Structures are given as structure tokens and as C-alpha cells.
Structure 1
């Protein structure tokens, strides 16, 4: 077996479904050993089994420092090293403007989407320094261009984009590259839940198809292929990159 990630151990958070699972699948296809970290026990186990050999599931709540620390120990017990970290875990609800967002909703979004990166970086930093392994953060186009009625979610993704740049500078001397990937619309279970929350759910599919100049709203494989590149040695001189994988959505929506 060979591939761009052959022999490497890649840790992916939030990989029980959606973009994370598609990325884990792509990493495995490129020859990596993959550790799926997710809070969803049943879905995580199913994802690891579906992806195949050299893939493990570790139950982990990325919003908890203790849970991330325990997950690291579990990964090292099986694979003995960590060569790359993909911070993918995230939530998108609620769909509200800021004045309608309560403190609990705000805190939950920041704990999962942003503070989780603090915990994974703290606990995997030494392992990545030893292997000069890259970090990839799943951000979003909304962190660059905004989105109505998603104030807290947009705030987390905008902060993650800025954090990525700061991390890239901090860890460059360690040989750790840090990049972020920015999807626009991608059909995932989370996006389908978001669509169901909207008043005009019947129009959402048409809307999501229109915003991507290159074509209809894609599945997660388009993100996974770009992510595999950014974690590979082919991207060895790329760091601090905020990469749109959006079908050109940021260039202007189609009429």
C-alpha cells in the first residue's frame, strides 16, 4: 500500500460522520493509520469499521481537556506516535442573530468549535513536534464573508481562522505547519439539520446549489481531497493558509 500519507498516524476529531468521516476515509486511502475522535459512540465505531483496517475510534468530548488527554493516551497506546492532527469537530446550531442567542448556546459553540483546539494543541503538541506533523483546522467560508442569523457560529469560525494564522507563526520553528480549510455548502448531517431549522426548508437545496459557481452543493469528498493534500508532504512549504474549497462561492453567487 502507498499514498501521500503512507505510514503516518492522523488524528481527526469529529470524524464519526460528515466532512470528518470523508477526510478520515481519504487519509486512510492515502495510506495513513487513522484515529477517529468523536463524542458519538455508536456512529464513531461504525465509521471506524466502515473505513477499514488501521483505523480506530476513540470516544472523546473535545470540549473537555481531560477527555482529550485520555484520547491522546489511547491513540499512542495503539499507534505509538501522531504525525498529523485535523481539528474538524464542530457544531452549527443555533441559527439565530446575536441578540437572540443565549449564554449557554454561545458558550457551547465556543467550547466545541474553538476551545477544543486549545485542548488538542496542548495535548498533542509534543507528539507533533517530535514528528514535525502538520495541523489542519476545519473553518468555514462564513468565517471570511459572514452569514445572517448565525452570529455565534460565524464568530467561532472567524476566530479559528485568525487562530490558525497565529499558530502557524508560533509553531513554524518546530516544523509544524498549521492551515485551515474553508468549505462553503457541503451536504453533511449537520447541514441537513441546519436546513431543517430554516423557515423555507423547501428552498434550501436550490439556494445551496446556486451559491457555488462550479456546480451544485457537493458532498464531503471534495473537502477531503484538499485536506489530504494539506496534510501531505506535497504541501510541505504551505503554512498559515486559509484555503477556500467552495466552488468559488466567495467570488459571487450565481443568479
Structure 2
């Protein structure tokens, strides 16, 4: 895989899966835009990625912010070839426990963010004749898990939107796919373990979610993202690639 002379945007690129994907794209020669609402995190990833990386501070849930992000990337690199919609977050709760503001905030980032970034990038992606979008969904979109109602609903929407966009934009030469990770050893879970009254018990629980008896590594999900974004996956569109250590096979 080679991304030389191609421009790749990774949202949520300041940490976790997003950072791992951004660094992998940089290794493969891409002009890289690391997008995060945390400017320090974006800058740190861009510094690690090297001289062809641009740190962009943006809120993917805000249309004006996304438009400004697209403008800054085009101004810097002249084109956009790949958009990785990775920004997202989650929190626990059933529909009885989640308040409306929290629900709206999560949907604004996890779902509206994919919509807005795609909406404003697709005109640039179409100019290349082979634009690619990779969305980060979750295995929970297909199987569900308890006590994560808002997160599961948002990722179900991401998978559905992936298939819809794939059909809508195939005529423009744009391929749209998603990766569906299982439980990944990310900063989100590291913080959760650190704050748990029984860290070892929580770690054992998280590792036990998968038949492989461990969490995934951000770098493992990054490889799937990069493949879906590459020319090597040229016959894939509308696909949701599950990388979950066998969890959804149970």
C-alpha cells in the first residue's frame, strides 16, 4: 500500500485508533491532516507523523468548523483523497438513565460528525475520481451490548449511513466503507480501568469479551482502516469490516 501524493484526513486523530491510523498513513507516504477538537492532541500526533502532517483543530459536530477544516486541508495540500471519520465517544446508560443533553451530544459527534465531514469532503473527493471514505463503526452495531444504549444506537446509524453513502456516491468514483472494532485497549478504557475500584476485575472482564481473551490494539484496527482506504481494496464499497477478536461470532 502506498499513499504518496494522496491527502488523508483522520478525525479523532489525537489518540487511540485515530492516532494509530494517522501514524500508519504517514508511514505509507500520505499527506496527512490530523483533526481533533483537542489542539494539543492533534499537534502531538502530527509531530509524531512527520513533516507531511498538518494538525487541525475542529469540532466535527459543527458545520462551520468542518467547512473551515476542509478549506485548511485543501489550502495546504491541494486535494483530499481519503476521509477517515473516526471521531466519536461513548458513555454508559440505558434509555431510562441517559438524559437528553447527553444523548444529543453523543449523536452530534458520532453520527452528525460523519454526516458533516462527508458532506463537505465529498465534492473534493469526487475531483480525484477515486475518493475513499472509511467510517469507524463498532461491532455493537450488529450485536448490541447492555448499558450502552446511546453508543450502540449511534454506531448502528454509522453502519447504515456507510451503506447509504456507498450507493449514493459510487457513480462519482467514491468508495465508502466502515470498520467495526471490538473492545480496543485505548485511552478510554485505560482511564476506565485506572478509575475502577477493582482494576484487575475490570481488565479481566474486558479481555474476556472476545474468544481471543484479549482486547484489540489500536494498531490492529488501524491496519483495517488503511486497507479500506487503499487502492488495494478497490472492489469494496458499502462494507462493514468487523475486527473484534471473534466477539460477534459468539
Give the structure-1-normalised TM-score: 0.94
Q: 2:188 aligns with which of 187, 190, 193?
A: 190
The CA distance in 2 between the partners of 1:133 and 1:153, in whole Å, is 28
CA contact (8 A) 2:23 2:45 kept: no
Instruction: After superposing the two structures, state which structure 1 stretch, 188-197 or 119-128, moved more.
Output: 188-197
**Residues 197 and 242 of structure 1: CA distance in aligned 2, closer, same or farther (over 3 Å):** farther
Q: 1:111 aligns with which of 90, 104, 108?
A: 108
CA contact (8 A) 2:182 2:216 kept: no
The CA distance in 1 between the partners of 2:215 and 2:228, in whole Å, is 22
- Give the match's secondary structure for 2:13: coil
Query: Runs of 4+ in structure 1 displaced over 3 angstroms?
Result: 193-202
Quote the offset at 1:193 in angstroms.
3.5
What residue is the counterpart of 1:141 in the other structure? 139
The CA distance in 2 between the partners of 1:81 and 1:73, in whole Å, is 10
- Give a deviation string over 1:56-98, Cα, whole Å, max 9, x none: 10110101000000011111111010000000000112x1111
Gaps of 5+ in 1: none
CA contact (8 A) 1:22 1:224 kept: yes
CA contact (8 A) 1:92 1:194 kept: no
The CA distance in 2 between the partners of 1:116 and 1:193, in whole Å, is 24
What residue is the counterpart of 1:234 in the other structure? 232
Quote the offset at 1:198 in angstroms.
6.2
**Residue 151 in structure 1 maps to residue 167 in structure 2:** no
Aligned residues: 249
Quote the offset at 1:28 in angstroms.
0.9
CA contact (8 A) 1:133 1:177 kept: yes
- Give the match's secondary structure for 1:244: strand
The CA distance in 2 between the partners of 1:205 and 1:241, in whole Å, is 31
Q: 1:164 aligns with which of 162, 165, 168?
A: 162
- Give the match's secondary structure for 1:100: coil
CA contact (8 A) 1:92 1:190 kept: no
Quote the offset at 1:202 in angstroms.
3.4
Give the structure-2-normalised TM-score: 0.95
Q: What is the aligned-residue RMSD (CA, Å)? A: 1.4
- Give a deviation string over 1:30-81, Cα, whole Å, max 9, x none: 1111101110011111111012120110110101000000011111111010
Gaps of 5+ in 2: none
